[in-house]
Chain A
Amino acid sequence: MLKAILGRKVGMTQIFGESGRAIPVTVIEAGPCTVTQLKTAARDGYEAVQIGFGSKKIKNTTRPELGHLGHPLPQLEAQKKRAQAVRARARQEARERGESGLEADATNEEAEQQTQAERTAAGRRRARAASSALGPFRVLREVKAEDGATPTVGDVVKADIFKAGDFVDVTGTTKGKGFAGVMKRHGFHGGQRTHGQSDRMRAPGSIGAGTTPGRVFKGTRMAGKMGNDRRTILSLEVIEADPERNLLVVKGSIPGANGGIVMIRKHLER
């Protein structure tokens, strides 16, 4: 149905192929992903499917995201204070009428119980299970659907969209290398180590000509921030796909550190 799935890079190992050769492989925990939104050309200007992967706590989720996923919104601090003030005033008035405060509370018991369900963790869990709310997910990403496929919100995507022998493109964020010199960043060769050189070993050398043009050209390769970029590795062979264990094994390496979020898409023939 979908052409893509989100996953977590678990790590690399090697296994033996049919001919007995050792194959380097990357193990990915792929899915399960849930379809959270459908974008249509009519409403959004383009066709896409939004899917969510992983989980996070409600308290770490923004209210816009909770609303988007169909959760009841937690009370704001201001709302809590206002409700508290209303209850306090009710007690005060009851006391002035000569009744005990406890009885006034008892009349509010029903309303109280409702908020109780909202307030306790177990109550919130029950409320969530009963509702059609999704997630909240660690990541939400948009992917394309297969031509002719009609996914619906709430559908679960698993690793079985791929099978052994398929080719996939894997997108992830590369490991950050910090501020790197030209040898590491651009593969420059550095300077001479001998013949009387000092502190030229990793230097970039000349960065341009003299009076003409009298400036350094834009795009000249120099030292700078390296890594932590979105990168896609094309055409990796799928060695194993197991939807039960959410397992996807691809041949070769993929971007990012272990534990990083990656997107696996069907390879486009070009």
Chain B
Amino acid sequence: MSTLIDAVEAKHFRQDLPEIESGDTVRVHAKVVEGNKERIQVFEGVVIRLNGTKLNAHFTVRRIAHNVGVERTFLLHSPRIDKIEVVKHAVVHRKNLYYLRGLTGKAARLKERR
């Protein structure tokens, strides 16, 4: 859009992250603050949604924790993300995998792509 806006955003983009796609299983190392200490928390799950462009790009990761579905959304370029590991890719036929929310157990598996 505007070059002036691009100039403001430019220094906030992160180049060190791997490319992620819908259906990928990822381990997101997020920085969390507890009291006055900061530690790294790993959130592992399936990317079910990629949204936004430029600095606003964000993605949602879904995992089953203690039999409860948990979804967490991260801003892709956020400095609160220490690193992202892509564990595996999967064959998916749509961008938003909302259908996974209604599925559990074996039905919620995705076919791996190598």
User: Which A residues lie at the B interface, using CB under 8 A?
Assistant: 10-11, 13-16, 20, 22, 25, 27, 29, 240, 245, 247, 249
Is there contact, CB below 8 Å, between A10 and B4? yes
Given A22-B75, A247-B4, A249-B8, output 10 extra A-B contacts at Cβ < 8 Å.
Answer: A10-B2, A10-B4, A11-B5, A13-B5, A13-B8, A14-B55, A15-B12, A16-B79, A27-B5, A29-B4
**CB neighbors of A among B38-91 (8 A):** 54-56, 75, 77-80
A240 to B5 alpha-carbon distance, docked (Å)? 12
| Contact A245–B2 (Cβ < 8 Å) | no
- For the A-B complex, the count of residue pairs with Cβ-Cβ distances under 8 Å equals 42
Check B7 for interface membership: any CB of A closer than 8 A.
yes
A247–B4 alpha-carbon span in the complex (Å): 8
Classify the interface of chain A: helix, strand, loop or mixed.
Answer: strand
Question: B78 and A15: CB pair below 8 A?
Answer: no
The reply to whether A20 and B8 form a contact with Cβ atoms under 8 Å apart is: no
> Pick the contact of A15 from B1, B2, B4, B9 — CB < 8 Å?
B9
Whether A10 contacts B5 by the Cβ 8 Å rule is yes
Q: Looking across the interface, which residue of chain B has its beta carbon closest to that of A17?
A: B79
Cβ of B80 and Cβ of A20 under 8 Å apart? yes
Per the bound structure, the CA–CA distance linking A142 and B79 in Å amounts to: 42
A53 to chain B, nearest CB (A): 15
Report 10 cross-chain contacts, Cβ distance below 8 Å, ordered by A residue. A16-B55, A20-B78, A20-B79, A22-B78, A25-B8, A27-B4, A27-B5, A245-B4, A247-B7, A249-B8
Q: Is B27 an interface residue (CB 8 A)?
A: no
> How distant is A162 from chain B, measured CB to nearest CB, in Å?
15
Measured between beta carbons, the chain B residues less than 8 angstroms from A13 are 5, 8-9, 54-56
Taken residue by residue from 6 to 32, chain B's Cβ proximity to chain A (1 for < 8 Å, 0 otherwise) reads as 011100100000000000000000010
Closest beta carbon of chain B to A16's beta carbon, Å: 5
Give the CA-CA distance A29 to B3 in the complex, in Å. 11
Question: In the complex, A16 Cα to B11 Cα: how many Å?
Answer: 10
Contact between chains at B55 and A245 (CB < 8 Å): no
Instruction: Output the nearest chain A residue to B81 by Cβ-Cβ distance.
Output: A20
**Minimum CB–CB distance for B82 against chain A, Å:** 11
Query: How many Å lie between the Cα of A27 and that of B7 in the bound state?
Result: 10
Residues of B within 8 A of A25 (CB): 8
Q: Shortest 10 CB-CB distances between A and B: which pairs?
A: A20-B80, A20-B79, A10-B4, A27-B5, A10-B2, A15-B12, A16-B12, A13-B5, A27-B8, A11-B5
CB of A11 within 8 A of CB of B7, answer: no
A29 to B7, CA, bound (A): 12
CA A245 – CA B1 in complex, angstroms? 17
Task: Report the minimal beta-carbon distance from A176 to chain B, rounded to whole angstroms.
Answer: 23
In the complex, chain A residues whose CB is within 8 Å of the CB of B8: 13, 15, 25, 27, 240, 247, 249
Partner of B77, one of A10, A11, A16, A249: A16
Whether A14 pairs with B79 at a CB distance below 8 angstroms is no
A91 and B25 CA atoms in complex are apart in Å by: 91
Task: Check B12 against A11 for contact (C-beta < 8 Å).
Answer: no
Question: Are B55 and A15 interface neighbours, CB within 8 A?
Answer: yes
B56: chain A residues within 8 A (beta carbon): 13-14
- Chain B min CB distance to A12 (Å): 8
